[in-house]
Copies of this chain bind each other. A is one copy, B any other.
């Protein structure tokens, strides 16, 4: 499952999470590898599915979406189709997690205004009951994963396949 990443792989992941547009030459320098060696490592991480993609991050407020909210959706029954359709259709839904607990789904929504958010919530209310919380701020701007096989390997068994 975990593709057995060594320290160099982790260094690469850290750098590319920090700056996804890093040239392979510069990346090589930072992890003490030649450009071609770094390239091969990166290609391997990509095809192994460890790196799933590279994306620009956009400031929501500056892009005209000053309202962010977290909506929890309590979804009776198991008919996922309508929700999935909504996820595809409404690009304002930035993220959707299916979770344990009373609320089956947790959605992160960006809106142009409270009115806009209200419209979005109304659409969700056709599926189930919702709990909405506005987002004041994001105290954790951005950061990648822990750099390396995380220190806290507590209770290590991840379910020995």
List chain A positions with a Cβ less than 8 A from chain B: 1-3, 5, 13, 16-21, 48-68, 70, 80, 83-84, 87, 91-101, 103, 105-106, 110-116, 118-120, 131, 133-147, 149-150, 152-159
Say yes or no: A62-B114 contact (C-beta < 8 A), given A20-B54, A84-B139, A147-B91. no
Out of B67, B99, B143, which one reaches A136, CB within 8 Å? B99
Contacts A5-B63, A91-B145, A112-B152 given; indicate if A51 touches B56 (C-beta within 8 A): yes
Copies of the chain in the assembly: 2
* Residue in contact with A154 in the complex, picked from B60, B63, B113, B147, CB distance below 8 Å: B113
Q: Are A98 and B139 in contact (CB under 8 A)?
A: yes
Query: Of the candidates B48, B120, B143, B154, which one forms a contact with A115 in the assembled complex, judged by CB atoms under 8 Å apart?
Result: B154
Choice from B5, B98, B142 contacting A53 with Cβ under 8 Å: B142
Please, which residue of chain B has its CB at the minimum distance from the CB of A146? Answer: B91
- Partner among B17, B62, B99, B155 whose Cβ is within 8 Å of the Cβ of A135: B99
Assembly CA distance A16 to B147 (angstroms) = 25
Partner of A116, one of B58, B60, B155: B155
Specify which chain B residues have a CB less than 8 angstroms from the CB of A54 in the assembled complex: 19-21, 54-57
Task: Given A138-B95, A156-B112, answer yes or no on A48-B62 (Cβ-Cβ < 8 Å).
Answer: yes
Cross-chain contact A52 with B142 (CB below 8 angstroms): yes
